[in-house]
């Protein structure tokens, strides 16, 4: 992705609650910056800043490709959520989000969930992904998984001439919020699923929900003979070792920032592996979140979001086809498409979707 500078980076600290967070606004060219809040430990605060910069830039391109009137932003809260998550800390974070007056709208990501968004919504209305019982749209991960499935079907059409996944061996790495739903969908499609996660509890839940799904460790999954590898955990998974080791025809998953080094995509192509850029296929959640932000009721919003997320099939197909025809990488084709959309957007970035007037 080209290195367009970020519009704003906010370092948030609150001594009373121990909050340490970063909010990065990459672009509001298409509208308010929409992107989730990641809550996890980092080696240093600089690592957290870097992650928020990468993730927020990815959101700019993701939102443009999804065809929603939102720019790109992302927040990270530093620390282990199982230790540091308190109502006070979440509310302190929400007040920082509120201080941006709607230029940034937050939602769930790794380490955060709808219950957290409910707490944040007590101090700001610039939050989506709240629970259904709190008037929100519910967990966006369901639609994220649905969009990934559409992207995977498009990859299958390009690779094997048919979008059918029945009988294909799909390895899902990470069965958290998105991966779990993706496993559900793949099982319904008739795929043979192999699931991996470092958390024994997550694997036990998968086995309980789907006794036919085999489970393994993330490392073992990288050696497994697969048709599709679906990374659904953290970024950087396609590093120099993994790219050489993978035994799959397709890589298509939800994890953000999968490419671990500059030449990864090119190397995948040389190995004849179809790669679907993560920010093209994992947009279902943000499509869902956008409906909620616009004040659409949960039921109607879910229906509309599902229809819109179906478009991920066509977008992925068109990007992969163009990449094959021109010799460009899929990410280069996707970036160009996103930039065309941003360049042709109306110039006034201050427009605010109707939901900004709504009060919770
Ligand atoms: P999550 O925290 O709910 O789940 C992540 C899962 O990955 C956990 O079960 C965790 O134990 C597992 N994991 C951790 N390290 C792993 C490893 N090395 N190998 C395999 N599994 C590992 O997160 P999520 O919300 O499901 O998001 C997953 C990915 O998808 C993230 O990269 C996120 O940014 C991206 N994403 C999520 C959404 C969404 O709607 N939640 C939307 C777009 C993109």
List, run by run, the mean pLDDT of 10-residue segments along the chain (360 residues).
Answer: 82 97 96 96 96 95 95 97 97 98 95 96 96 90 96 98 98 97 98 98 97 96 96 94 96 95 96 97 95 88 92 97 96 95 69 37
- Whether residue 353 is contained in a domain is answered as no
* CA–CA distance, 341 with 352 (Å, rounded to integer): 18
On whether residue 345 sits in a domain, the answer given is no
pLDDT of residue 298: 83
pLDDT at 1: 58
- The alpha carbon of 175 and the centre of ligand 1 are apart by a number of angstroms equal to 7
Q: What is the pLDDT of residue 2?
A: 58
Alpha carbons 304 and 324: distance in angstroms, whole number: 31
Query: What is the residue-wise DSSP string for 61-126?
Result: HHHHHHT-S-EEEEEEEES-HHHH--HHHHHHHHHHHHTTTTSEEB-B-TT--HHHHHHHTTT-S-
In short, whether 278's Cβ falls inside 6 Å of ligand 1 is no
The domain in which residue 162 lies consists of 141-282+313-339
How far apart, in whole angstroms, are the C-alpha atoms of residue 41 and residue 80? 5
Is the residue at 145 inside a domain?
A: yes
Same domain, 202 and 324: yes
Q: Are residues 208 and 253 in the same domain?
A: yes
Do residues 155 and 125 both lie within one domain? no
Considering its fold, how many domains does the chain have in total? 2
User: Cβ–Cβ contacts within 10 Å for residue 311, how many?
Assistant: 16
| Probe residue for ligand 1, chosen from 39, 233, 281 as the CB with the greatest number of ligand atoms within 8 Å | 233
Q: Given 109, 134, 159, which residue is the final one in a domain? A: 134
Distance, CA of 155 to CA of 2 (rounded, Å):
25
> Would residue 48 count as lying in a domain?
yes
The CATH number that applies at residue 164 is 3.40.50.720
Which atom, in ligand 1's list, is nearest to the CA of 62? 43
Whether 62 is in a domain gets the answer no
- Give the three-class secondary structure for 33: strand
Residue 77 lies in a domain: yes
At residue 317, the pLDDT reads: 98
Q: Are 233 and 85 found together in one domain? A: no
Would 304 be classed as within a structural domain? no
Residue 51 is predicted with a pLDDT of 94
In short, whether 259's Cβ falls inside 6 Å of ligand 1 is no
Q: Is the CB of 144 under 6 A from ligand 1?
A: yes
On whether residue 344 sits in a domain, the answer given is no
Q: How far is the CA of 147 from the centre of ligand 1 (A)?
A: 15
């Amino acid at each position: 992705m080209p290195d367009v500078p970020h519009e704003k980076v906010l370092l948030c600290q609150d001594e009373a609650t121990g909050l340490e967070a970063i909010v990065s606004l990459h672009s509001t060219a298409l509208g308010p910056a929409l992107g989730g809040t990641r809550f996890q430990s980092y080696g240093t605060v600089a690592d957290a800043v870097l992650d928020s910069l990468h993730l927020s830039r990815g959101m700019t391109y993701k939102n443009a490709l999804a065809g929603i009137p939102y720019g790109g932003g992302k927040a990270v809260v530093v620390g282990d959520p199982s230790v540091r998550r308190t109502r006070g800390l979440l509310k302190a974070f929400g007040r920082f989000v509120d201080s941006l007056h709607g230029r940034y709208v937050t939602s769930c990501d790794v380490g955060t969930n709808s219950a957290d968004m409910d707490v944040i919504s007590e101090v700001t209305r610039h939050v989506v992904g709240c629970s259904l019982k709190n008037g929100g749209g519910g967990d966006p991960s369901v639609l994220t998984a649905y969009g990934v499935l559409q992207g995977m079907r498009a990859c299958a059409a390009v690779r094997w001439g048919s979008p059918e996944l029945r009988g294909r061996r799909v390895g899902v790495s990470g069965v958290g919020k998105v991966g779990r739903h993706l496993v559900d969908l793949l099982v319904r499609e008739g795929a043979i699923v192999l699931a991996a996660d470092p958390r024994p509890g997550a694997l036990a839940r998968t086995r309980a929900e789907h006794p036919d799904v085999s489970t393994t460790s993330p490392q073992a999954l990288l050696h497994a003979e697969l048709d599709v590898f679906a990374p659904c955990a953290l970024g950087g998974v396609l590093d120099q070792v993994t790219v050489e080791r993978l035994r799959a025809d397709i890589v298509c998953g939800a994890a953000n920032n999968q490419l671990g080094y500059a030449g990864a995509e090119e190397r995948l192509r040389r190995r004849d592996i179809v790669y679907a850029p993560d920010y093209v296929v994992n947009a279902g959640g943000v499509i869902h979140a956008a409906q909620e932000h616009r004040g659409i009721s949960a039921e109607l919003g879910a229906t509309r979001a599902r229809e819109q997320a179906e478009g991920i099939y066509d977008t992925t197909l068109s990007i992969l086809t163009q990449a094959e025809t021109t010799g460009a990488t899929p990410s280069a084709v996707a970036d160009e498409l996103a930039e065309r959309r941003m360049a042709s957007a109306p110039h006034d970035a201050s427009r605010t979707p109707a939901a900004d007037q709504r009060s919770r």
